[in-house]
Structure 1
């Protein structure tokens, strides 16, 4: 397990939890619920819009959208942290004369 990969995933997971908590705990109207549930996947949805693939989003449910967009986001965040951690470990393992 990569600690740095998990560290990169933690803020995104906390943001998702905060959005869900805000929607479920308070007196929030439908429009606010929609906005707060859309926030965790807004960047990914915007990317599809820029690529001209936003028609695919018209018939997708929220659980499906979250699964479709959040899983790759977590994988990308974890992989980035893991690669950085491995890079640090390789540099630390080099003998002093190799630097």
Structure 2
């Protein structure tokens, strides 16, 4: 059975080899002429980038400032999706509450927690998620800025 599956997958992938290129191509699929920094030979292509910036490595290895907000957004989407597919009401509640628990606690700490009591999940998310994304983006920007020494 495994052999049949493997053969079927290889047969499905065969047409993809027609799209393979012998060198660099642009967005329109047209060949790009070779340069001193961009060469190709027998289906292998390589590019060399030279920079005079001494701090290039730190910049290259520093994640973009949007990383914390993207991680939060992906985690939130995953938990909400899990809540939609969970048949257990308690599990649904926990999965929906996890992404906004800290924000809800912060509202409670400043005495504004009652603003969201009895409101639907969509309202809680609309009120709490955008400011969280902005704060996480700002935190990422500050981390990147301090990592780059600016």
Shift of 1:24: 2.3
Structure 1 segments unaligned to the other structure (5+ residues): 93-99
Name the structure 2 match of 1:4.
Answer: 64
Count of aligned residue pairs for this structure pair: 88
Greater share of residues in strand: 2
Determine if the alignment matches structure 1 residue 85 to structure 2 residue 144. yes
Name the structure 2 match of 1:31.
Answer: 90
**Partner Cα separation in structure 2 for residue 41 and residue 71 of structure 1:** 11
Partner deviation per Cα, 1:10-61 (whole Å, 9 max, x = no partner): 22112112212212234x2122211211110011101111222222122422
Whose radius of gyration is greater, 1 or 2?
2
Shift of 1:4: 2.3
User: Against the structure 1 CA distance between its residues 59 and 23, is the aligned structure 2 distance closer, same or farther, given a 3 Å change threshold?
Assistant: closer
Q: With the length of structure 2 as denominator, give the TM-score of the two structures.
A: 0.51
Determine if the alignment matches structure 1 residue 49 to structure 2 residue 142. no
- The 3-state SS of whatever aligns with 1:36 is helix
* Over 6 Å off, 4+ runs: none
Q: In angstroms, what is the RMSD of aligned CA positions?
A: 1.9
Partner deviation per Cα, 1:43-98 (whole Å, 9 max, x = no partner): 11011112222221224221111011110110011111122323344x37xxxxxx
